Amino acid sequence: MTSPLTVLQTVFGYPAFRPLQEAVVQRLVDGEDALVLMPTGGGKSLCYQVPALVRPGCGIVISPLIALMQDQVDALRELGVRAAYLNSSLDSATAQTVEQALANGQLDLLYIAPERLVQNRMLDLLQRADIALFAIDEAHCVSQWGHDFRADYLQLSLLHERFPAVPRIALTATADARTRQEIITRLDLEGAEKFIAGFDRPNIRYRIALKQNPKQQLLRFLKAEHPRDAGIVYCLSRKKVEETALWLQQEGYNALPYHAGLPAALRSSHQSRFLREDAVIMVATIAFGMGIDKPDVRFVAHLDLPKTIEAYYQETGRAGRDGLPADAWLVYGLQDVLKLRQMMDNSEGSAEHKRAEQQRLNAMLGLCEITTCRRQALLHYFGDDLPQPCGNCDTCLEPVPTWDGTEAARMALSAVYRTGQRFGVNHLIEVLRGIENDRIFQYDHHCLPTFGVGKALDNHQWRSVFRQLVAGGYLTADLERFGALRLQDKCRGLLKGEETLQLRKDIARKATRQQTRQPLPEEVDVGLWEALRECRRSLAETQGIPPYIIFHDRTLQDMCAQLPRDIAAFGRLSGVGERKRDKYGRDFLRVIEQHLEQSTA
């Protein structure tokens, strides 16, 4: 047997395992079961790929996402691994060839869709073959909260009965304890050792800003920080997706729309361009993203507020799977809060369901308004604790000034009360600021004791107060009455003077104050970097595979930093295994050499 470390170094070209990987790999090599919970980008694939190569026989990987199998298999073949897949997209002749290869012991890894695996014919075939291990990817699909693919996944418990001697590994990025327990019970994994990684994604920088002029804010963000990067921009509605994509195209970006209303062929062509071309921006509804494991998504931007923290974490988690710096960027404002609250009130479902939805939205709003570390709050929400502020979120980088908003909040609440809880924000602000106009006179609001008591604050400041009161659950918006604000029980303490309230000071942040951050370390030569990217792009194009299957950005960075001059030095770069060294070494060495000649000339 070759040692796991040797396989990691020669096939994958990585110098060392990550801490948890090593233990998981050893467990499987020893023939035992494992349950692995790791965040996206944590490195789950190596946990089964390495032992499958170390152990005799073929590793069987069960994965529900047919669209991804091809890329995974392409990536493995690039490494010189004998990999194949079986799913409904194959014609029967190709499927037969794959099955034959399995029977002849000519495969190291075989990806199979769950519904295919549980067919009797397939099980018989497996019974006759030499199996190294079973890897059950996206194992949360067995859970009743996993909804998709559940029926097929539930049948996977038969693996244990039919193949008692073959080690199994179940993997998921879904954290919560209920799902974890269900995986163990449903898949008969009581005896499996549990490996649980923290859910932190330290390379993602979380930023949530006040929505002022969202398009301009997005444009500034893209120009300053991601002029040539791939990323995702999430919008709530299909219409907004299309408008935003069009507008970004006009601004010179390679932007594509994606939502469930587009024809399937167009959707899949856009998805494939996102994976294969450099620097595509996908503008999408939440319909986009499931199972996208493009490693070099450098930013996820939200132009609308996600409904829950779970959704926010999942969507932003698509950034930076390769571990390099990435941004999660969101703008939100009072209108978002009102709109979402109203949509929920209006939705189908029991009162209890609505209440639960409102609570989850409240948690999301709490995250937006928080004045302490965002990452601590996020991880705390998922039951993980981060002892120190992270230093890589907006509130850590630029501490939020607060002010004592108790008095202003009381004025605002009293304006709501005295006008009969029948008016929206704009009118209430006019009352507070003592604006004399027709509507005010029509309702005799100039006679109220609250009229004009709030002249010290301007329009923006009042909107900020109202937004924070709605976000904090002191006020709620009434759909029937066009967003009229109503008092909630929570107000009592404030109105009675028993409670004080610290509010965020919303200051317009100038674009220039955000430091520009390139994914490149400073010492890297941009000219060389671009030339290497171009080399990778053209190699990928000739072979019809995504550029990251050839080398990840991290490996290109390593080239810039190490400047290898010969094939042996090239082979020592992170992410360069023996096969890629031999296949691509010369092409990239030539680019490096040309660059060095030019810069010394």
Identified binder of ligand ADP from the candidate list 41, 114, 214, 405, rule CB under 6 A:
41
String marking each residue 285-314 x if it binds ligand ADP according to CB under 6 A: --------x-x-------------------
Nearest approach, Cβ of 83 to ligand ADP (angstroms)? Answer: 14
Cβ-based nearer residue to ligand ADP, 65 or 416: 65
Nearer to ligand ADP, 79 or 432 (CB): 79
Decide if residue 427 touches ligand ADP (CB under 6 A): no
Closest by CA to 334, choosing from 188, 477, 487, is 477
* Cα 460 from Cα 481, distance rounded (Å): 23
> Contacts with ligand ADP in 355-394 (CB under 6 A)?
none
Rounded-to-integer distance, Cα 574 and Cα 559, Å: 9
Choose one: 35-43, 418-426, 451-459, 539-547; the region binding ligand ADP (CB under 6 A). Answer: 35-43
**Helices 309-316, 351-369: inter-axial angle, 10-degree rounding:** 60
Which of residues 111 and 466 has its CB atom nearest to ligand ADP in the complex? 111
**Residues touching ligand ADP, count (CB under 6 A):** 18
Compose the 8-27 pattern: x for residues touching ligand ADP by CB under 6 A, - for all others. ------x--xx--x------
Are 305 and 313 a contacting pair, CB within 8 Å? no
DSSP H helices, 259-326, are 264-276, 309-316
List Cα–Cα distances, 484 to 277, 424, 470, 475, 592, in angstroms. Answer: 47, 4, 12, 10, 64
536 binds, among Zn ion, ligand ADP, none (CB under 5 to 8 A by kind): none
E strands present in 126-222: 131-136, 168-172, 193-196, 204-210
Give the E-state strand segments of 95-227 in sequence order: 109-112, 131-136, 168-172, 193-196, 204-210
Smallest distance, Å, CB 372 to Zn ion?
8
Burial state string for 412-432 with b = 16 or more CB within 10 A and e = fewer than 16: bbbbbeebeeebbbebbbbbb
Query: Closest Cα partner for 248 from 284, 293, 290?
Result: 284
Q: How far is the CB of 25 from ligand ADP (least distance, A)?
A: 10
Q: Which does 13 bind (CB under 5 to 8 A by kind): ligand ADP, Zn ion, none?
A: none
- Tell me the closest approach of the beta carbon of residue 374 to Zn ion, in angstroms: 5
For the chain, state the CA radius of gyration. 28
Using rule CB under 6 A, residue 200 touches ligand ADP: no
CB-CB contact of 58 with 131 (8 Å): yes
Closest CA to 314 of 37, 38, 40, 44: 40
Contact 291, 319 (CB under 8 A): no
Question: From the list Zn ion, ligand ADP, none, which binds 462 (C-beta under 5 to 8 Å, kind-based)?
Answer: none
Binding partner selected for residue 393 from Zn ion, ligand ADP, none, CB under the kind-specific 5 to 8 Å limit: Zn ion
Two structure tokens written together for 14 = 């990585």
- Nearer residue to Zn ion within complex by CB, 379 or 428: 379
Could you give phi then psi for residue 382, rounded to 5 degrees? -95, 10
**Residue with smaller CB distance to ligand ADP, 74 or 293:** 293
Candidate list 37, 45, 234, 334; residue touching ligand ADP; CB under 6 A: 45
One symbol per residue from 532 to 571: x for binding ligand ADP (CB under 6 A), - otherwise; what is it? --------------------x-------------------
Q: Which of 483/575 has CB closer to ligand ADP?
A: 575
Residues that bind Zn ion (CB under 5 A): 373, 375, 389-390, 393, 396
Task: Yes or no: say if 386 and 199 are a contact pair by the CB < 8 Å rule.
Answer: no
Residue 17 binds which one of ligand ADP, Zn ion, none, with CB within 5 to 8 A depending on kind? ligand ADP
Which residues of this chain interact with ligand ADP, rule CB under 6 A? 14, 17-18, 21, 38, 40-46, 293, 295, 321-323, 552
